[in-house]
Amino acid sequence: MSYRVTFVCTGNICRSPMAEWVFRHHVEKEGLDVEVDSSGTGPWHVGSGADPRTVRVLQRNGYRSAHTARQFQPDWFDRYDLIVALDAGHLRELRAMAPDDAARGRIRLLREFDPDAGDDLDVPDPYYGGHADFEHVLKLVEAAVPGLLDHVRAETSLAREA
């Protein structure tokens, strides 16, 4: 069975689809058995594509970007091995929604996986910004991917040993 990772931001049109496609690119490149998707904490953009600025930044940097926004549902906790929040607000919302301690234990902040992140673990929302803000988010996501890949490799190797 595949290891399952989902990324969660506010509306699922900027940060989480960007993280999804960057991480998916690296998972596929390495041939890992990992399913990757994303969602938002709110319903505002359900059914919409990713923000055009997200798509543009992804494509300019060699990533794919097909996407339809959706809202994270409380009964989805059992679907995922790892739920990756993009900022502390999403982390709080997901933890409050989690049915138990086991589910809460599968929720992490993306930048926890970046050893150079320091104390600021939020990926800022670029929605009200410009192109540079979206590029900045991409850099933050890319910086966390190696550590996230290491974490997933360790988790999947533990599961194989069990």
pLDDT at 157 (0 to 100): 84
Active site residue 9: yes
Task: Please report the pLDDT score of residue 160 as a whole number.
Answer: 66
95 is catalytic: no
What's the pLDDT score for residue 69? Answer: 98
pLDDT at res. 1: 80
Q: Give the active site residue among 9, 87, 106, 122.
A: 9
- Domain boundaries, position 7: 3-161
What pLDDT is attached to residue 12?
98
Work out how many domains the chain is built from and give that number: 1
pLDDT per 10-residue tile (average), the chain, 162 residues? 96 98 98 97 97 98 97 97 98 98 98 97 98 98 98 86 64
Contact between 154 and 5 (Cβ < 8 Å)? no
pLDDT at 47: 98
User: Of 4, 70, 125, 133, which residue is the catalytic one?
Assistant: 125
Can you give the CATH number for the domain in which 47 is found? 3.40.50.2300
Q: Which one from 15, 24, 106, 111 is the annotated catalytic residue? A: 15
Give 72's contacts (C-beta < 8 A, 6+ positions apart). 6, 8, 39, 40, 41, 94, 97
14 is catalytic: no
What is the C-alpha to C-alpha distance for residues 102 and 157, in angstroms, rounded to an integer?
20
Question: What's residue 159's pLDDT?
Answer: 63
What are the backbone angles phi and psi of residue 8, rounded to the nearest 5°?
A: -130, 125
pTM of the shown model = 0.97
Average pLDDT, the chain: 96
Residue 162: its pLDDT value, please? 60
